[in-house]
Amino acid sequence: MSWSKLKQQLESFLSPALMGRVEYRATSYRYSPDKAGHCYIAVDKKNVLNMNDGTTSIRWYQSEQEIKNDAAIQIPIHHEVIEAIRTETKGLVPEERLQVIARGRKIAELAKELLSAQAALSKSNFTVEANKFLARPIEESLESPDILLNILALMDRRVGRKRILNLSEKIKLKHPCVQYFYELRLSTV
């Protein structure tokens, strides 16, 4: 589906109170095939959610280093994980090193999850997620762990006042971007 058609469909589902305030914007680079373009959700002409970042790998590394260096973060390592590493290395690695390897792998996994939770998306990912949103029931988008689906569902006219008010406890557990759009929608109810 073309961007203009997708944008038109998404904006047709906007809550009437958000019409004109919330916009979906995209830029593309016609002659540069390696650049997917940028995608934004703008509120009152201000880009609130930027869905492209050329420094994604750098941010992932920084997140991994922050988790490694934070002594307050306790990372549980199960005996099964250590046994799997032991069999993978054929028992040639000392016991203390197995702990370090298991912790390092867990930290890398957490950093990747953290990065995906920070909504580092590209324009192509946005179009995929927007098409998912248009194809599935609104309840699935509200319950989804995906940040973008949550945001699109919160701004949807099919989500009424009562449902918005009932979501207050669930929204506290969501990403700050989702909380921002929840507050925006709550202010219009």
- Kindly report, residue by residue over 121-132, the tens digit of the pLDDT: 555 677 888 888
Q: What is the pLDDT of residue 119?
A: 46
Q: Which residue has the higher pLDDT, 105 or 108?
A: 105
User: How remote is the C-alpha of 103 from its chain's centroid?
Assistant: 24
Q: Which residue has the higher pLDDT, 20 or 68?
A: 20
Judge whether residue 112 has pLDDT over 50: yes
Q: What is the band of 116 on the pLDDT scale with cuts at 50, 70, 90?
A: low
Give per-residue pLDDT as tens, 150-188: 999 999 999 999 999 999 888 888 877 888 899 999 988
- At residue 116, φ and ψ (nearest 5 deg) are -65, -30
Q: What is the band of 1 on the pLDDT scale with cuts at 50, 70, 90?
A: confident
Looking at residue 22, its amino acid is V
User: How remote is the C-alpha of 161 from its chain's centroid?
Assistant: 25
Nearest-angstrom CA–CA distance, 114 and 161 = 31
Nearest-angstrom CA–CA distance, 175 and 177 = 5
Judge whether residue 106 has pLDDT over 50: yes
Tell me which residue has tokens 């004109």: 20
Helices (H), ranges, 39-146: 56-69, 79-88, 95-117, 123-135, 138-143
Query: What is the reported pTM?
Result: 0.65
Q: What is the pLDDT of residue 114?
A: 65
Give per-residue pLDDT as tens, 77-90: 888 988 998 999 88
Q: What is the pLDDT of residue 137?
A: 92
